């Protein structure tokens, strides 16, 4: 599973990364997590508001920090 956190480094971006890492660990998933901070790269996903969570190339959440439980549901889908 390829997971990307899109964001320029704001506190919400860091929080999304922390919550996502927690969800991955709790679920026991094998996943590659990457942070994308370059605005040009973020724009390729059509994301206008960060932070955003991308799973296997699909934007699952943008503009907010979902809870660990919500992230788990997004990773299962």
pLDDT tens for 14-30 read 999 999 999 999 999 99
The mean pLDDT value of the chain amounts to 95
For the segment 40-66, the average pLDDT, to the nearest whole number, is: 95
Looking up residue 43, the CATH number of its domain turns out to be: 3.40.30.10
- Residue 58: count other Cβ atoms within 10 Å of its Cβ: 10
Number of structural domains the chain divides into: 1
Share of the chain above pLDDT 90, in %: 96
Q: Is the pLDDT of residue 77 over 90?
A: no
Q: Which of 13, 61, 62, 71 is catalytic?
A: 13
Q: Which of 1, 8, 10, 27 is catalytic?
A: 10
* Residue numbers of the domain that contains 46: 2-76
13 is catalytic: yes
| Token pair belonging to 21 | 């890492």
Cα 39–Cα 73–Cα 2 angle in degrees, nearest 5:
45
Give the CA count within 13 Å in the CB-facing half-sphere of 63: 4
Phi (first) and psi of residue 38, to 5 degrees: -75, 125
70 is catalytic: no
């Amino acid at each position: 599973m390829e997971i990307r956190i899109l964001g320029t480094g704001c506190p919400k971006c860091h929080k999304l990364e922390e919550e996502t890492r927690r969800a991955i660990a709790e679920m026991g998933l094998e996943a590659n997590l990457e942070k994308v901070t370059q605005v040009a790269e973020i724009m390729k996903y059509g994301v206008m508001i960060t932070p955003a969570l991308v799973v296997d190339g699909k934007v699952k959440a943008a503009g907010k920090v979902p809870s660990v439980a919500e992230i788990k549901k997004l990773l299962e889908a």
